[in-house]
Chain A
Amino acid sequence: MADLSIDFCGIKSPNPFWLASAPPTNSGPQVMRAFDAGWGGAVWKTLGDPITNVTSRFWAHDYGSTRMMGLNNIELITDRPLEVNLKEMYEVKKRYPKHTVIASLMVESRENWREIIKKAEDTGCDGLELNFGCPHGMCERGMGSAVGQEPKVLEEITRWVLEDAKTPVIVKLTPNTGDILEPGEAAAKAGAPALSLINTIKSLLGVDLDRFVPNPRVGGKSTNGGYCGPAVKPIALHMLAQLTRNPATKHLAISGIGGISNWRDAAEFIALGATSVQVCTAVMHYGYRIVEDMIEGLSDYLDSKGMKSVNELRGRAVPAYAEWGELDLNYNLKARINAETCIGCNLCHVACMDGAHQCILIPGRTHEEHVKAGHTHIPSSIPEVPVKAAGAIGRFVPVVDDAECVGCNLCHLVCPVPGTIAMTEVPGAIGKSETWNDRVAQGRDLNPGSLQSTLAKRGLAK
């Protein structure tokens, strides 16, 4: 069994699975139940000056029959008295000395920071997370993402904290910024050893079309909230990888957050350079129990790859994250349909017709019918292979016209039967590996999207 324990900038944790600062870490009894279920760490619900929360607080984005693909909230930091939280943190740490407890903090003045850092560290917590990410309610008061969006302010406050803190400091970043490297580098410049990201994304979750009020509704009004859950994972992965491949930030320990629901998601964050991962929405949906599968799945996966420890996985996919100009223009794929499993729904056909390159044909049609459907290139032979699935009478397996297929993956992505459309590598048209950067270097092409190329295209270049 692979070793899942981690060292996060000096913080030792039994496994990389931590709960994010949010309702699942609201109280001591909750965190203790989570540790019993297997979670390796918990970032306590953000502590700060007293606030009042509203009712209601959450709304979700459902997609098809999938509930809560994305979650939005307009909750603020903890609404429990500071002393109660501190006492419970102390108790949790005493009862679970090997588990990781991080205090999440958000206050305004230098004095307040000094005071709360001391109180938090007195509980015996393992580190501090600075909440520079909350995108609603707190930022209007000059905290949360108001700090995260201002690299200079972020750097300044981080310096204050580092002066006072005795335990490792994690700067939690907001994704509500044009370039994540700016706040990331500011934190690095201030000397922080670690980052966590992402906090939630500014969002309006939808509109109640009878009341004309966005959701979630508080009486007759609503406000923008923070979006999280499975839907935000791709955004989080991108921001994480930006930081882990950037020379000025790649030395930092990073706790990956955003849409992590299972061990595969976690493994992807770790492969892109995260040392620990944090989870909120998936636990709010299904409970602490999901960690059993996360631990077992990750451990089995590492075993299957011959990796002795989770540290061997960290960053494995970072080198392959390249710039567009470094991609091989000769690499070539064609869609291949498995006639044994196709059910004849023709979703691949319509996707390719209207959304790609008009190269999936429905056999059994006349030449005229193919033309009318919108094909411009019609192969001489269109084999009529019957769909094998039970009950499929008179339907044929669609045919991919290799001459037109650009290998975009779209049909593969829409096909409802997993494994039915495979993307198969074929020899490339150029005959040898060649990138756009090669062409630019050889003076054969211009940088795509550069001012120079735009001017050239418009005939304005000198």
Chain B
Amino acid sequence: MYQLPVLPDGRLEQRIKDYKPAYSPGEAVTEANRCLYCVDAPCVKACPTGIDIPNFIHKISTANVAGAARTILKENLLGTSCARVCPVEVLCVGACVYNAWGREPIAIGRLQRFATETAIASQGLAKLVTAKKAPTGKKVALVGAGPASVAAAGLLALEGHRAVIFEKKAVPGGLNTLGIAPYKQSANQALEEIRHVLALGDVELKAGVEVVAGAAGAGQASGESLLKDYDAVFLGLGLGPDSALGASGEQGAGVYGAVELIERIKVDPKLVLNGVKRAVVVGGGNTAIDIAHELKLLGVADVAMVYRRGEQDMSGYAHELTHARKHGVRLVEQRVVTAFTRGADGKLTGLTMARAENGKPVAGEPEALSCELVALAIGQATGTAVAKAFPGVQVEKGSVVVDPKTQRTGHPKVWSGGDCVNGGKEVVNAVQEAKLAVRDMLRALGGK
């Protein structure tokens, strides 16, 4: 069986603490007792995976913690990750009836975390989900080891199918392992969940193997071979690399893609931020807020987010911005970065910005901002080139096209879900899409 990588110590993320620490049993019961146990509850409707929230919270209130975990995992196999990483403020918690009443909503995420972590630690994931069915002899290939594929593989394994995951990186889990802000979830916590899912049944993880369109070289597998060797294929490709601005001076040390930098904070012990006193983050989305917040928590004295529009236009969540600001992140609005400045030694010294209106630069004196590090968080490219290997699979604006009810692509043996389909949402959306895909696959594979 595949051994999950052991991450070395000395990684920067290890210095960052949980911002919503785990509840003690007493705290969990106290909070659970506050829940009204609503019927047709709005929190359930706001959960993309439709977890029966009142039911699981009621079970916590009676000390039936394993039962609570079963209720959660039945709808969301990665309920542990989701409990920690979901933007609950805009999902379940945001819909809680207490909001309408002007009172503190129920801390659903923290309760979910309490139930899943406690129950899985005491009896393992396998005992909390439906019993594994007898082997069917059918096998499914999953491309990418992000939450979409991991959830799908687990669900397929429980149905008795063989699931083989191909992941181009050494560390599995996709952005759930490599991208989540450390104050929400550490890479090791994400890997621990994967360890449990891989043990649910016949799941194999081939890490360091990229699936390609065309002929496969070393460390690669061709899409054609998957179609030939497997009964079904699931594409959980995620997104591509960070986008670049294309401004002068951008290439070179000190300027990072935000996702790339977060990955290194989480898993690369060689990354150090010595000498970085000022950092600039370019962008106004959640990735921008995350990296700015992380840099601040790692001790960078001045962290400025430079955004081309106003605060009200930001796609990043207001609650995340508030939180980052509380720790000292500042926001520079209505500015576009025009160039990066470097010293004679090539070292980054800062950048210049122009004032912007409606996100476009307007005439005027350029402003300078000194910094030793820049993180570009202006979006990620798509990463769906491999889809070409599967005839009939359509790609529109870089995203794989599926029937939203079944997650089925234009190829009868290929399903897809997660960021590569939805253009980049949350872990919980990836899990839900995987669930829908597996339901339809079971039908196609002749599962009961």
Contact = CB atoms under 8 A, between A and B. Distances in A.
A418 B59 contact: no
Interface residues of A, number: 16
Contacts of B61: 262
Contact of B70 (A263, A264, A290, A296): A296
B64 A419 contact: no
Interface string B46-73: 0000000001001101111011001000
B124 to A, nearest CB: 14
Contacts of B58: 286, 290, 293
Interface residues of B, number: 18
A341 B26 CA distance: 11
19 contacts: A262-B61, A262-B62, A262-B64, A263-B62, A264-B62, A287-B39, A289-B55, A290-B58, A292-B55, A293-B55, A293-B58, A296-B67, A297-B59, A297-B64, A297-B67, A418-B25, A418-B27, A418-B30, A419-B24
Interface of B: 24-27, 29-30, 37, 39, 55, 58-59, 61-64, 66-67, 70
Contacts of A290: 58
Interface of A: 262-264, 286-287, 289-290, 292-293, 296-297, 300, 341, 417-419
Given A286-B37, A296-B70, 12 more contacts: A262-B62, A286-B58, A287-B39, A292-B55, A293-B59, A293-B67, A300-B67, A341-B24, A418-B27, A418-B30, A419-B24, A419-B25
Contact of B26 (A292, A293, A300, A418): A418
A289 B56 CA distance: 12
A184 to B, nearest CB: 30
Nearest to A419: B26
A262 B62 CA distance: 7
A419 B29 CA distance: 12
Contacts, number: 43
B24 A293 contact: no
B64 A300 contact: yes
Contacts of B25: 418-419
A262 to B, nearest CB: 4
B39 A293 contact: no
Given A418-B26, A418-B29, A418-B30, A293 B64 contact: yes
Contacts of B39: 287
A379 B234 CA distance: 71
Given A286-B37, A287-B39, A419-B24, A296 B59 contact: yes
Contacts of B66: 296, 300
Contacts of A296: 59, 64, 66-67, 70
A86 B127 CA distance: 44
Contacts of B26: 417-419
Given A286-B37, A287-B39, A418-B29, A297 B62 contact: yes
Contacts of B62: 262-264, 293, 297
Q: Rank and list the top 4 A-B pairs by shortest CB-CB distance, nearest first.
A: A418-B26, A297-B64, A262-B62, A296-B67
A286 B63 CA distance: 18
B398 to A, nearest CB: 44
